[in-house]
Amino acid sequence: MPQPPADLAGRVALVTGASRGIGRGLALALAGAGATVAATARTLEDLESLAEEGRAAGGRIVPVEADLADVPSLRRAVEEVGREHGRLDVLVNNAGLGFNHDALEVTESDWDRMMDVNLKGLFFASQAAVRLMADRGYGRIINMSSQAGLVGIRRHAVYSASKGGVNMLTKVLALEWAPLGITVNAVAPTYIRTPGTAERLDQPEIAGDILARIPVGRFGTIDDVAAAVLYLASPAAGLVTGTVLPVDGGWTAQ
């Protein structure tokens, strides 16, 4: 009989960009499902309250310093998890940048900043993680993509390019690493209500335009994203790899 999707007891997970928003929620969800969670941010101070909240809920969240735009930094973070816990079962590549530009206004710096974190950092974090996972013949990698990597959205040229790259990278890595017992999938959310997005999504003109494009008629929540990540991180998703799972209320079905 298969294990329940949310049963991650005994697993070790690493979540990048976990100090706030979706990443914070994912770290708490994975810890709540029984995993020991290494949570990264650029400074350990940014993770103190997250670790405390995890402990208060009966979970275990361990702060780890890492800068996803700095490949040696993220490699050190993954190696630290391996030394401290002796294994790494789940990597959630959540860290990312998101800002809007008219395409004619994009600078080289804008392009490089977003690609360094959203695509380059994700790839090298995955590469480092697989060096640990391959020895055990088991691993789950979940990449945070976006509906903007599946359909065109005005003023998102660089962001969409980075997330489209995440989607294709997910497929290629799934093919290469399947023989190692490692699955690679992506989750592509719509607009998610978080403390950081609430101010914008609460503006009636913005909310009305977005909700008109979401058939289910509501914004996403962190719990919506966490449910998809928990499934893909679990033993129940052992035959699922190379997929991009939209959590978008039907946006990309149109």
Active site residues: 159
Cβ atoms of 86 and 75 within 8 Å: the answer is: no
Instruction: For 100-157, give the DSSP string.
Output: -B-GGG--HHHHHHHHIIIIIIHHHHHHHHHHHHHHHT-EEEEEE--GGGTS--TTBH
Query: What does the block give as tokens for 46?
Result: 């940014």
Instruction: Go through 96-111 and write b for each residue having 16 or more CB atoms within 10 A of its CB, e for each that does not.
Output: bbbeebeeeeeeeeee
From first CA to last CA, the distance across the chain in angstroms is 37
Query: What does the block give as tokens for 17?
Result: 């960009």
Q: To which residue do tokens 């989750």 refer?
A: 187
